[in-house]
Amino acid sequence: MLSPNQIVEMMMEKDAFSSWMGINIEKIELGSSVISCEVKEEMLNGFQILHGGISYSLSDSALAFASNSYGNKCVSIETSISHTRPAKLGDILIATCKEIHRGRSIGIYEVSIKNQDDKLISIFKGTVNISLEEW
Amino acid sequence: MLSPNQIVEMMMEKDAFSSWMGINIEKIELGSSVISCEVKEEMLNGFQILHGGISYSLSDSALAFASNSYGNKCVSIETSISHTRPAKLGDILIATCKEIHRGRSIGIYEVSIKNQDDKLISIFKGTVNISLEEW
Amino acid sequence: MLSPNQIVEMMMEKDAFSSWMGINIEKIELGSSVISCEVKEEMLNGFQILHGGISYSLSDSALAFASNSYGNKCVSIETSISHTRPAKLGDILIATCKEIHRGRSIGIYEVSIKNQDDKLISIFKGTVNISLEEW
Amino acid sequence: MLSPNQIVEMMMEKDAFSSWMGINIEKIELGSSVISCEVKEEMLNGFQILHGGISYSLSDSALAFASNSYGNKCVSIETSISHTRPAKLGDILIATCKEIHRGRSIGIYEVSIKNQDDKLISIFKGTVNISLEEW
């Protein structure tokens, strides 16, 4: 059986968009994950602040890593995000995913992104379907 | 007063991430928008399908264009997305944003993304705050 | 095989809370439903307007009827609602549920509630899991 | 200036639907609330389990009490709920609302409902608009 870290390694390998974002894996445990990246020029929108799509993408990756850590493949069903504070060029985004509920077929996770000053950038909720297929 | 198209032009200008995605503006009207982009290699995840963050980003941009078209600056408060079908390299994504409700201070919009075969890729709902500040 | 109307009849039978709300079935078809009820005194909150929980409950019932109409039992996974306009004592609430997507195991539905003057009271999105179990 | 408890008392007074539900106020503090009720016969759906609309209504009331506790009137903009486990006749529902974010004009809250055995029944997220009007 694969460990949570081995599963995430397999997921990250060949994940072109996570590479493009420059995602760092900080910590992976059963049902939780901490990942980070730095805001770079190409991630900005017309207001010169971080495009909300990047916060979503980082949160979605944190969700994928946390929910798949048990060894069963999980697919996201529904996700929502609120952007609470703008992030700017050079900021470090730290996404922490924790498990709210894990039933037989459904898992619910929350991801908060904070910046280097521990200020909340966004809050994300994701619901996944837990399949029987294993990594 | 600026037209919907002039506002979107101003928003797109200097929007580095929308440029990176290669967004095309297909049609902008009061309260609605149609935009598109092509799935390129760097947008794929570890399963070699489109990263959900790109569908979100495209939807979020469609929301911004439609909600700002009246001339008042709008900021997204809460957004949610469901991914209904995978998209793959070379697919054309067409995002259509329509208005569900526009009150005095709150607007609600829905964005559906379809591919070149008119198949639904994702469905997105966004709530924005309508400010008094004008473009 | 049961018809959509027969399934809804079975669901309504013994549904104490829907009885309490006074739900009327207006129209049931494959993947869609129209139901209604009248705002009564006990449904009001402290501001003397309709408690948001009633709009949610009516929407949730409309979702159940539309998604179960095919004959497979469906269970709601995630639901969201935005309240766009207050309803008051004596108003007639008409909830219309339409299908946005129906895949193999996941269905997505939208319910809008309008009042007797065709004004939007709330907009609801529901995601259900489609089981193999039949009615 | 009114205390959080005084504000909640004013909100509960004349709130007919909360009375019908039999809501008990367990604890109110700045930005948080704990309230409870018992599942009674009229709250059941056709499967003889708690109608999801009651969990939503209880969560929505917990949100209202927590978000209004500072003295500024708050109105819910968007809410979502996932039902994780069925509740049955006679169960005690304990709803706990905590603050995730409170900015100048937007507040985000999470409400979890647990039963008498500390099992999670539902998880709710609510976004409110913080007005300048005071209680």
pLDDT at D1 over 90: no
Q: Give the sheet arrangement for strand A120-134, strand by strand.
A: A24-29, A32-38, A92-102, A106-114, A120-134, A72-83, B72-83, B120-134, B106-114, B92-102, B32-38, B24-29
Query: Is there a contact between C17 and D44 if contact means CB atoms under 8 Å apart?
Result: yes
How confident is the prediction for chain C on average, in pLDDT?
96
Decide if pLDDT at C31 tops 90: yes
The more confidently predicted of residues A1 and B102 is B102
Query: For position C119, what pLDDT does the model report?
Result: 97
Residue B46 confidence (pLDDT): 87
pLDDT at residue number C29: 96
pLDDT for position A1: 81
* Burial readout D26-57 (b: 16 or more C-beta within 10 A, e: otherwise): eebeebbbbbbbebeeebbbbeebbbbbbbbb
Q: For chain D, which domains are there?
A: 4-134 (3.10.129.10)
Q: What is the pLDDT of residues D35-87, one digit of tens each?
A: 999 999 999 998 899 999 999 999 999 999 999 999 999 999 999 999 999 99
CB neighbour class for C42 (10 Å; exposed up to 12, middle 13-18, buried from 19): middle
Contacts of C127 in chain A (CB under 8 A): 77-78, 127
pLDDT digits (tens, 9 = 90+) for C82-122: 999 999 999 999 999 999 999 999 999 999 999 999 999 99
pLDDT, tens digit, for every residue of A68-121? 999 999 999 999 999 999 999 999 999 999 999 999 999 999 999 999 999 999
What's the predicted TM-score (pTM) here? 0.95
Give me the total of CB pairs closer than 8 Å, taking one residue from chain A and one from chain D.
35
Find the closest chain A residue to D121 by CA distance. Answer: A101
Which residues on D lie below 8 Å from C45 (Cβ)? 15-18
Assess whether pLDDT exceeds 90 at residue C45: yes
Collect the ranges in chain B with pLDDT lower than 50: none
Task: Report chain D residues whose CB lies below 8 A from the CB of C61.
Answer: 53
Identify residues of A whose CB sits under 8 angstroms from chain D CBs. 80, 82, 84-85, 100-101, 103, 106, 108, 110, 112, 120, 123, 125, 127
pLDDT at A14 over 90: no
Chain D's closest residue to B105, CA to CA, is: D129
Residues of chain D in Cβ contact (below 8 Å) with chain C: 10-18, 20, 41-46, 48, 51-54, 56-58, 60-61, 76-83
Share of chain A above pLDDT 90, in %: 96
